[in-house]
Amino acid sequence: MKKILAVVLTLAMIVLLVACNNQGETDTTNNTTIETTNKETTTSPDVTEEVTTTEEETTTVNPADITYTIELTGTSFSPESNLYKIAYATVRGSDNSVSQGCILIEWNTDGDTAEFIDVYKDYVGTEFPIVGIGRGVLVNKSTDENGLVHLNTVHVKKVVIPSTVLEIREDAFGLMSQIETLELNEGLLKICKFAFEGLQNLKELNLPSTLKVIDNSAFFGCSSIKTLVIPESVTEIGDGAFLGCKSLETITIPERFKDRINLIFGVLPSNVVINYTSGN
């Protein structure tokens, strides 16, 4: 009897062990399935992100998406004809690139007018808007028989600034006394120090409604201007901006500059008529 009971207990133990093993295998299979599912879930977004990153890099380096602006600087070369001349220029790209080059300045056929082109196209058709005009763009450079370099101002009577120009830099047209007409188009924001100093024959000056800053001595010594209208857009006028403009007869200026009249114009003759605008 004891032997029979022992055999039964042994068989029961075997059955229990087999059942435990089967449950363990089932758990292991389930765990494996879960792990595989998790791996598939995390892998999919990673692949998508890699594809997106590749597209962004391609767009960033695409030259067609880069825009450029030109700042005219430095001394120009002697023109080969009266139709154009060449000036040094700084080209700035929206990708933070900076390079030096040259640009053509257009002239009319009689040689009396210097009309700066508003957009320059290079040999592949890329456009470069001119945003700044600096010192020396209307100066010819020549070398004599002794190898000495001479700088001579171009004898033009009229200068036309395109609407793409935001700033006229220091000494850009200083001491060019032959200029009689200055055409400053809408879009100009700032006229820097001595930009038009000493233009003794400048008779008419029309300042654009976009102008905000007229710096110190910007029109110092422009002794032939008779009428001056400073637009309401101007928020800053530097000391001596119109000092030496001794032919002035009528001045129209925003009222906020009333207390600085002597600093801006110097001592004016008693017959000068000053009209203050309130901006309303």
What would the 3-class secondary structure string for 122-173 be?
Answer: CCCCCEEEEEEECCCCCEEEEECCCCCEEEEECCCCEEEECCCCCEECCCCC
CA separation for the pair 40, 33 (Å, rounded)? 11
Mean pLDDT calculated for residue range 137-145: 75
Report whether 184 contacts 164 (CB < 8 A): no
pLDDT reported for residue 63: 65
Domain stops at, among 32, 61, 90: 61
Report whether 50 contacts 44 (CB < 8 A): no
Report whether 98 contacts 92 (CB < 8 A): yes
CA separation for the pair 199, 143 (Å, rounded)? 26
- Do 41 and 157 lie in one domain? The reply is no
Dmax over CA atoms of the chain, in Å, equals 144
CA separation for the pair 46, 160 (Å, rounded)? 57
Look at residue 13 and tell me whether its pLDDT is greater than 80.
Answer: no
- Do 202 and 263 lie in one domain? The reply is yes
Handedness of CA 259, 265, 267, 268 (dihedral sign): negative
Mean pLDDT calculated for residue range 69-88: 63
- Do 186 and 241 lie in one domain? The reply is yes
Domain stops at, among 10, 29, 61: 61
Look at residue 212 and tell me whether its pLDDT is greater than 50.
Answer: yes
Tokens of 202: 């400048």
pLDDT range class, residue 152, cuts 50, 70, 90:
confident
Percentage of the chain beyond pLDDT 90 is 38
Range of the domain at 119: 69-277
> Which residue, among 22, 136, 130, 115, has the nearest Cα to 68 in the 3D structure?
130
Q: What is the pLDDT of residues 230-267, one digit of tens each?
A: 999 999 999 999 999 999 999 999 999 999 999 999 99
CA separation for the pair 114, 107 (Å, rounded)? 5
- Do 240 and 194 lie in one domain? The reply is yes
CB atoms within 10 A of CB 236: 11
- Do 86 and 160 lie in one domain? The reply is yes
Worst-scoring range by mean pLDDT, 4-8, 93-97, 168-172, 273-277? 4-8
Look at residue 123 and tell me whether its pLDDT is greater than 70.
Answer: no
- Do 122 and 175 lie in one domain? The reply is yes
Report whether 241 contacts 214 (CB < 8 A): yes
DSSP SS3 for 5: helix
- Do 23 and 82 lie in one domain? The reply is no
Please state, rounded to an integer, the average pLDDT across all residues of the chain: 75
Supply the DSSP symbol for 64: G
Report whether 224 contacts 198 (CB < 8 A): no
Look at residue 59 and tell me whether its pLDDT is greater than 80.
Answer: no
CA separation for the pair 41, 47 (Å, rounded)? 11
Structurally, how many domains does the chain consist of? Answer: 2
- Do 48 and 73 lie in one domain? The reply is no
Q: What are phi and psi of 48, to 5 degrees?
A: -65, -40
Beta-sheet strands, E only, within the chain: 68-72, 76-77, 84-93, 98-107, 113-115, 119-121, 127-133, 139-143, 149-153, 158-161, 167-168, 181-184, 190-191, 204-206, 213-214, 227-229, 236-237, 250-254, 273-277
Q: Of 6-10, 51-55, 153-157, where does the model show the most confidence?
A: 153-157
Domain stops at, among 61, 87, 107: 61
Q: pTM for this one? A: 0.70
Look at residue 7 and tell me whether its pLDDT is greater than 90.
Answer: no
pLDDT range class, residue 179, cuts 50, 70, 90:
very high
- Do 14 and 144 lie in one domain? The reply is no
- Do 169 and 86 lie in one domain? The reply is yes
- Do 164 and 227 lie in one domain? The reply is yes
- Do 145 and 46 lie in one domain? The reply is no
